């Protein structure tokens, strides 16, 4: 007697990557290259041609020149004429958005767009974000918070169906959370040390900024994000400027960056405010009252360091926590960051470049919950 038996288990087969058109394959690489070249189209294409020679990225049917033509047709690049009358090709706002989205996917994963875009807080109360937890009705609770389904079920259990009544003791209220809004300033160190020792620190910092900007604008549209850079001085930049960000021949004026960050946050009405600072951790410059610069790159200058501690304490008094993401591992710099963090009662992450984006995302999600008023 033959019996048919069905067996359950795993079936293993060779991984097959999802199909990508020739344009999409090259476009993924191009977005990465244009980030590294700070928006320089000619340099990015030059690198792409070199990669094509080494890894055969194109075919006779679809060449790099065909790819460039498609970029034009799809609106990713445009021809420009500079003030000197020279022609050239530049990326468009559509490409800038695509670069930010790629950075978001690389660092934070594929995060679905949220309709409301608000953070949940820790405190329960009269908010409007449902938790799924229930409690007995108390005098003063809003009627629209009463769960009719749970309340009717209680009435049936307590009084029976034949003698159905609904009393105050039967009413049940669903707990809710307050929705929070967050104002964040992201400070990026663009001093010369960010590219010293053969390590490109500015590109990962740039990617993190683009990913954070895309995250906030898509998932938390009621939050605000301001981005500033600091070298000898500090100045604010727009999100659209991020792909073109470069390191300059600057010292590190951390105090100027903190002053600008706090000025920006003072104008915000949100209860939650925070500063994220990406730096190699070594302040080496101050601007004096007479407008001249005081610079010292040898070790940690006590005068400069004490000014940084004072700014950290000032931010603490304004209830602005500072989270420092330090991308250097020198012991004396780590000690400075520890003292700086102590003065602010903030947080510090001592990290290399790997995992920087994930840490900033997790800390952003955690800090959103603080100081919510009912």
Q: What is the DSSP string of 60-120?
A: SSS-HHHHHHHHHHTTSEEEEE-TTS-EEEEE-HHHHHHHHHHHHHHHH--PPPPSS--EE
Record the tokens describing residue 75, joined without a space. Answer: 């609106």
Q: Considering only CA atoms, which of 38, 10, 44 is closest in space to residue 26?
A: 44
Confidence label for 57 from pLDDT (cuts 50, 70 and 90): very high
What mean pLDDT comes out for the span 242-259?
95
Q: Which residue has the tokens 């790629």?
A: 102
Record the tokens describing residue 115, joined without a space. Answer: 């309709």
Length of the chain: 374
Tens digit of each residue's pLDDT (9 = 90 or more) over 286-311? 999 999 999 999 989 999 999 999 99
How far apart (Å, rounded) are the C-alpha atoms in residues 40 and 33?
9
What mean pLDDT comes out for the span 224-237?
96
How far apart (Å, rounded) are the C-alpha atoms in residues 24 and 22?
6
User: How much is the pLDDT for 116?
Assistant: 40
Query: Is the pLDDT reported for residue 110 higher than 50?
Result: no
pTM of the model as a whole: 0.73
User: How much is the pLDDT for 124?
Assistant: 39
Average per-residue pLDDT in the chain? 83
Distances from the Cα of 230 to the Cα of 88, 191, 253, angstroms: 30, 7, 6
Helix, strand or coil, per DSSP, at residue 19: coil
In this predicted structure, which of 30-44, 58-72, 114-128, 273-287 has the lowest mean pLDDT?
114-128
Helix, strand or coil, per DSSP, at residue 78: strand
User: How much is the pLDDT for 354?
Assistant: 66
Cβ atoms of residues 53 and 67 within 8 Å: no
Helix, strand or coil, per DSSP, at residue 58: coil
Confidence label for 168 from pLDDT (cuts 50, 70 and 90): confident
User: DSSP code of 146?
Assistant: B
User: How much is the pLDDT for 171?
Assistant: 84
User: How much is the pLDDT for 177?
Assistant: 52
Measured on CA atoms in the order 203, 309, 336, 357, is the torsion positive or negative? negative
Secondary structure element (H or E) that encloses residue 105, with its range: helix 93-108
């Amino acid at each position: 007697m033959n019996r048919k038996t069905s067996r359950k288990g795993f079936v293993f087969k060779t991984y097959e990557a999802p199909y990508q058109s020739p344009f999409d394959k090259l476009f993924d690489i191009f977005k990465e290259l244009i980030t590294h070249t700070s928006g320089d189209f000619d340099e990015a294409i030059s690198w792409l041609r070199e990669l094509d020679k080494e890894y055969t990225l194109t075919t006779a049917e679809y060449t790099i020149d065909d790819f460039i033509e498609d970029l034009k047709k799809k609106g990713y690049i445009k021809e420009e004429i500079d003030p000197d009358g020279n022609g050239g090709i530049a990326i468009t706002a559509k490409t800038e958005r695509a670069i930010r989205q790629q950075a978001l996917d690389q660092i934070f994963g594929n995060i679905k767009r949220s309709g409301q875009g608000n953070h949940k807080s820790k405190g329960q109360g009269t908010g409007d974000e449902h938790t799924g937890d229930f409690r007995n009705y108390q005098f003063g609770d809003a009627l629209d918070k009463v769960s009719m389904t749970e309340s009717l079920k209680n009435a049936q259990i307590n009084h029976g169906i034949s003698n159905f009544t609904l009393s105050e003791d039967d009413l049940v209220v669903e707990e809710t959370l307050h929705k929070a809004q967050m104002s964040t300033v992201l400070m990026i160190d663009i001093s010369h040390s960010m590219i010293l020792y053969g390590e490109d620190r500015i590109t990962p910092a740039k990617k993190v900024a683009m990913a954070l900007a895309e995250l906030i604008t898509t998932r938390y549209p009621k939050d605000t994000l301001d981005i500033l850079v600091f070298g000898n001085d500090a100045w604010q930049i727009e999100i659209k400027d991020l792909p073109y960000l470069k390191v300059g021949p600057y010292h590190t004026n951390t105090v100027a960056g903190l002053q600008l960050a706090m000025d920006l946050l003072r104008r915000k009405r949100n209860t939650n405010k925070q500063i994220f600072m990406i730096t190699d951790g070594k302040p080496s410059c101050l601007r004096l009252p007479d407008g001249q610069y005081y610079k010292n790159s040898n070790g940690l200058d006590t005068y400069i360091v004490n000014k940084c501690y004072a700014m950290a304490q000032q931010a603490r008094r304004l209830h602005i926590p500072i989270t420092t993401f330090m991308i250097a591992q020198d012991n004396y710099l780590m000690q400075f960051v520890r003292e700086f963090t102590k003065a602010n009662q903030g947080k510090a992450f001592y990290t290399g470049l790997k995992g920087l984006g994930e840490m900033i995302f997790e800390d952003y999600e955690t800090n959103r919950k603080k100081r919510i008023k009912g």
